Amino acid sequence: MLDQKQDKSEILLAWYDEHARLMPWRVPPEQRKLGVLPDPYHVWLSEVMLQQTTVAAVRDYFVKFTQMWPTVGDLAAADDGDVMAAWAGLGYYARARNLLKCARVVAYDLGGVFPDNEAALLKLPGIGPYTAAAISAIAFDIPATVLDGNVERVMARQFGVMEPLPDSKEALRKLAASRTPQNRAGDYAQAVMDLGATICTPRSPRCGVCPWAQGCKGREQGIAPQLPKKRKKAKVPTRVGVVYVARRNDGALLMEQRPDKGLLGGMMGWPGSEWAETEAEQNAPMNADWRSLPETVRHTFTHFHLHLKVMIADVPSDAAPFRGVFVDRERFDANALPTVMRKVWKTAAPALVETGQDI
């Protein structure tokens, strides 16, 4: 007779066999049962991309990256600027910088082979407890406790955990471990995440079709939609800044590479001021007849809202900036810019067109 842990895991795995989501980095359960495991490079890449990003947003990026850099060695040898440009739009650019660092450690120090245990994976750049557990389970079928937001929600509801996050995180980890089976660890890890993403959803859990409905304390007590509880968030502050878009009369645009550390580290963008709680001194990148646009560019990062004043100028072909470099119009690609910089361009471009030069 199955114990409760085996019973629960087998019920979930049976559900997963029928309802597993199809993803370009995933090996379907019917193939895993035949011993086919995914490429650890694909698992690692997808997990890094999925941090604080939706599956829908990641699919196309994953396909693009694996087409451009099919192996971890290819990625390790890639130009930093090309990788950052390919990452543009995914946000949280520290992930892209760590992606390159990790790829190079694996390629050059580990012979292109990812470690098959959590302890060794945790030593790699950009890999924390969740990612290490996910790679161990999904890529190597090692029983590891995978705890992302979906799993936290499922466990809080299953066990009726009333303590709010993040205080309850360790308790939820232990509860998740209590259900992690020794066999089919990779399928189980993905099954719990799929359950949270498609059935045990944040606002309207579909308890009527949940394979784990029986015995779920959150459902029995009628409080599933309220779990997990979370501490009240602090008010998100607003920062302001000024950004400068200069176009030379041959169509070249003044760009600047941001420092490697900090937000948008290493990315190309428009020169501008510091982002602060009060308006900083306007430090224009060159002498020009700067004009202020009436529209403010607004963007929200994880920890603050940003409001940017946009200044534009048309300058002669011999213009000499104090900082930044002019990028030929043919080489300029707005899609390679981070999202906030694309918003600036979307605001500035029509105003530059109005001056009479086609861009």
Exactly one of 10, 47, 274, 277 is catalytic; which is it? 47
Annotated active-site residue 18? The verdict is no
CB-CB contact of 312 with 331 (8 Å): no
Q: Who's near 290: CB < 8 A, 6+ residues apart?
A: 244, 284, 311, 312, 313
Strand-pairing partners, residue 242, are 309
Q: Note whether 92 and 113 are within 8 A (CB).
A: no
Structure tokens at 249: 């009369």
Distance CA 204, CA 218 (A): 13
Q: Which amino acid is at 106?
A: V
Amino acid at 318: D
> 9 phi and psi, to 5 degrees?
-65, -40
Rounded to an integer, what distance in angstroms lies between the CA atom of residue 246 and that of residue 327?
11
Whole-angstrom distance, CA of residue 205 vs CA of residue 27: 27
Bridge-based pairing state of the strands 238-248 and 305-315: parallel
Token reading at 238: 């607003």
Neighbours of 153 (CB within 10 A): 23
Q: Is 205 helix (H, G, I), strand (E, B) or coil?
A: coil
Which residues are annotated as catalytic?
A: 47
